Structure 1
Amino acid sequence: MSYSEELAQKVRGLLQPKDGLTEKQMFGGLAFMLNGNMACGVVGEELMVRVGPENYQEALGERYTRPMDFTGRPLKGMVYVEEDAIAEDLDGWVTRGVEFAGSLPPK
């Protein structure tokens, strides 16, 4: 599966000032890692965001989100964010992922 380079560029623009940021091909898309921990990524035209187990149900309660079920089973703490939500608040979703990844010890 490919990913939207346009969306990846927008995410890069939001993450540019972050130290410890790397990119890695995973889940058939592109993941953005902060100190070795995945924060968010792009799969197809959607954003995947690591919100963490504590924020998972709250994130799923928001419009245009669904469980990240890449393997056929939902990955707790990870959500897909559809294009409509990305258009409304890309910065907010990327920030959520960065905040969670930043709360984890570096790998």
Structure 2
Amino acid sequence: MAYDRELADRIREALSGRAVREVAMFGGLTFMVNDKLTATANTQGDLMIRCDPVRVEELLERDGANWPVMRGRKMSKGWIVVESDRLESDDILTAWIQEAIDYNGKVTGCADK
């Protein structure tokens, strides 16, 4: 499994203090919080997050955000891919991870923020 190790380390740091399980998935390293997919570091250094489907259109307006495509097909609402060159700042990465954590809390009924 090949994934961007630097991005994975940054995701670990952003998720520190939470119970996280790492799983090889989506051709990268996926981080599960509360047993729900939260973020993935892929082979190109891009970040994929699970987010609130209601917020997808708004989130896609952010710089570097794209609709993820798997096997040539767009994924369903609730997923965003952020280009690696738009993740240079830890503040930006943390903001994207927080989007995923916020939705994770809604899905699981937990308030893990």
Could you state the TM-score of these two structures normalised by the residue count of structure 2?
A: 0.85
Amino acid at match of 1:32: F
Where do residues 26-105 of structure 1 align in structure 2 (5 Å cutoff)?
Answer: 26-44=25-43, 45-75=45-75, 76-88=77-89, 89-105=92-108
1:92 Cα deviation after fit: 0.5
Q: Which runs of 4+ in 1 moved over 6 A?
A: none
Q: Which runs of 5+ in 2 are unaligned?
A: none
> How many residue pairs end up in the alignment?
105
Rounded Cα–Cα distance in structure 1 between residues aligned with 2:30 and 2:107 = 16
Amino acid at match of 1:96: E
CA contact (8 A) 1:40 1:98 kept: no
- Spell out, residue by residue over 1:11-50, the C-alpha distance to the aligned partner (whole angstroms, 9 max, x if none): 101112013x211110000111111111111112100011
Could you state the TM-score of these two structures normalised by the residue count of structure 1?
A: 0.89
Q: Which runs of 5+ in 1 are unaligned?
A: none
Amino acid at match of 1:80: V
Label 1:102 to 1:71 Cα distance change in 2 as closer, same or farther (>3 A).
farther
1:84 Cα deviation after fit: 2.7
